[in-house]
Structure 1
């Protein structure tokens, strides 16, 4: 486990993901919550990133953009970003 003093706000993948969300859907973005093993700090090296994304309005186009950002994380960092 990679538990020693994990700070999500300093994690390059969390920062990248949040910046991409803000850049692409900031007008409809209400909140983003990291949950799961990364949030608890009991993750392993290959653990995924679990994000709960709260939008102001449902929109299929925005949903697709969010999935695209998740795929970009996988492409760039070889880590899975799961979004609900």
Structure 2
């Protein structure tokens, strides 16, 4: 995997997410090894998608991007690993969640 491939995949993913979610999309953040630059050919592409929807609707909203994720995985021979979260929940738990703190520290905002 190359940095250029990651950038291309994320650009397409962000464009499609904006189409699917519109104003509900608050942020897309690349995190993990791809954000740190220490990825390998076997690394997945970790991405956090923050949405302005009720927390109980996150699962339904996640399903709306499954086809896009699968297509990118297939076409680019990558493994996209999206995590979806309600934006307010994310903001609330940053102080106590090591995961969210790592995303804040290492993450690269894509959208």
| Fold similarity call, TM over 0.5 | yes
TM normalised by structure 1 equals: 0.79
Q: Which structure has greater helix proportion?
A: 2
Larger relative contact order (CA 8 Å, sep ≥ 6): 2
TM normalised by structure 2 equals: 0.62
Q: Which structure 2 residues correspond to residues 21-36 of structure 1 after superposition, within 5 A?
A: 21-36=17-32
Gaps of 5+ in 2: 84-111
Q: 1: distance between equivalents of 2:43 and 2:53?
A: 30
- Superposed CA RMSD in Å reads 2.3
Offset of residue 7 of structure 1: 7.2
Gaps of 5+ in 1: none
Give the equivalent residue in structure 2 for 1:53: 49
In the alignment of these two chains, the number of paired residues is: 80
